[in-house]
Amino acid sequence: MTELPEKNVPFVNPRAAHDFRGRTCSIVSVGSYVPERRLSNAELEKLVDTSDEWITTRTGIKERRLAADDQFTSDLAAEAAKKALEKADIDPEAIDLIIVATITPDMPFPSTACLVQQKIGATHAAAFDLEAACSGFIYALEVAQQFIMSRTYDTVLVIGAEKLSSIVDWKDRNTCVLFGDGAGAAVLQYRAESHGLLTACMGADGSKASLLSMPGGGSRHPASQQSLDDRLHFLRMDGKETFKSAVTAMHRAAKKAMERCQIDISQIKCVIPHQANQRIMSAVADRLGATEDQIFANVDKFGNTSAASVAIALDQAVEQGRIQRGDLVLLVVFGAGLTWGAAVIEW
Ligand code: UT7
């Protein structure tokens, strides 16, 4: 039998970034959008039995953003996409493919990506949604990278977008204090001899699917009076177990991504973890041996925005000057599924 080449080798070794067959999947630009409405911990104190003190010490969250009633996931996604396209000065008509990672699509079908295609005028783009919960943005980056490196498409728009306020149970203090709405986008292009996405890895464990889910609305529990009475159309989570799995999986994924690129944590300028909980981020940083100033966090302002989380954070890290061209950036995510992933970018 013919011997196959080793699986999952990094596209490039960053120390010799442009020697690896000259192939590069470049992140040309990023953009993000969060709705204007802020929901503070003090306001949540009036909704459920909670306190600013509990939320702050257990999660690090001070406020989160909520989309307006007439603002949907596709609207948030389109705003983030327009900003990313503007920064790169790329015409929407040049986009070959749009991937939207989300667990809160405007509707089960058509896809949110198709709605975004229409909103931004990307008339030549194919479009589909990808569902990997909070890990969605890295899953989508990896999928986009495959299309680009195979030269199937030259320009791919990757978006993580959520209107989580539409599936949060505002009577459940265990979850309603955690989530927020927003979107982040990245434009990926084939650019030989350029900076880019060095590697992305993904993982999943379906045996823990019940830890974090929204049981209603699919083929198992279609909408019915019973499903409404049982509150099946809201997100539910076993927080403690999810927390433990998150720390282990994010640590492993981050290590794997760095190993593939033959780098260690000291070479990473900025670590951008999924913004679920400050305590999770600190525990992962600790295990990786990362210093506090390597970690980028904005969970205090936006809470957990699921698939949008690291996309918004990456855009803000760039805007705030935390990342300069040429820096190595590590993204690491975790979410329902369970799913997880990590990516190394040479910015
Ligand atoms: O994005 C996908 C991944 N998501 C995550 O990674 C989230 C992972 N989980 C977490 O971040 C944390 O587990 C939570 C923030 C959700 C909860 O923190 P915890 O330290 O694990 O608290 P706990 O669930 O063990 O609850 C401790 C206590 C409980 O009371 P009893 O049973 O000890 O009397 C809860 O009922 O805190 C109570 N509690 C609250 N109290 C005030 C739970 N939520 C609240 C609340 N306000 N909002």
Q: Which amino acid is at 66?
A: L
Torsion of CA 55, 57, 63, 66, to 10 degrees: -40
pLDDT digits (tens, 9 = 90+) for 275-308: 999 999 999 999 999 999 999 999 999 999 999 9
Question: Domain range holding 140?
Answer: 26-189
Q: Give the largest CA-CA distance in the chain.
A: 67
pLDDT value at residue 308: 98
pLDDT value at residue 178: 98
Is a pLDDT exceeding 90 seen at residue 342?
yes
Of 55, 47, 33, 338, nearest to 184 by C-alpha is 33
Find the length of the chain. 347
φ, ψ (nearest 5 deg) of residue 119? -65, -35
Q: Would you say the C-alpha torsion 287, 179, 104, 83 has a positive or negative sign?
A: negative
Nearest-atom index, ligand 1, CA of 175: 16
Number of domains in the chain: 2
Residue 9 within any structural domain of the chain: no
Task: Please work out whether the CB of residue 333 comes within 6 Å of at least one atom of ligand 1.
Answer: no
Q: What is the mean pLDDT of residues 144-154?
A: 92
pLDDT digits (tens, 9 = 90+) for 18-75: 334 445 789 999 999 999 999 999 999 999 999 999 999 999 999 999 999 999 999 9
Residue 21 within any structural domain of the chain: no
Q: What is the pTM of this model?
A: 0.94
> Do residues 102 and 116 make contact, with C-beta atoms less than 8 angstroms apart?
no
Same domain, 166 and 265: no
Residue 3 within any structural domain of the chain: no
pLDDT value at residue 221: 97
DSSP-derived 3-state class of residue 267: helix
Q: What angle do CA 274, 283, 236 make, to 5 degrees?
A: 50
Q: Which of 131, 161, 189 is the endpoint of a domain? A: 189
| DSSP H stretches of helix in the chain | 41-47, 52-59, 73-88, 112-120, 136-149, 173-176, 225-229, 239-260, 278-288, 299-302, 309-319
Residue 304 within any structural domain of the chain: yes
CATH number of the domain where residue 77 is located: 3.40.47.10
> Do residues 174 and 235 make contact, with C-beta atoms less than 8 angstroms apart?
no
Q: How confident is the model at residue 244 (pLDDT cuts 50, 70, 90)?
A: very high
Same domain, 61 and 178: yes
Q: How confident is the model at residue 5 (pLDDT cuts 50, 70, 90)?
A: low
Mutate to test the pocket of ligand 1, among 41, 170, 174 (most ligand atoms within 8 A of CB): 174
Q: How confident is the model at residue 10 (pLDDT cuts 50, 70, 90)?
A: low
Residue 8 within any structural domain of the chain: no
Same domain, 90 and 117: yes
pLDDT value at residue 150: 87
Nearest-atom index, ligand 1, CA of 173: 48
Active site residue 25: no
- Tell me what the pLDDT averaged over the chain comes to: 93
For the sheet with 181-190, list strands across it.
Answer: 25-33, 181-190, 155-163, 97-101, 126-130
Q: How confident is the model at residue 318 (pLDDT cuts 50, 70, 90)?
A: very high
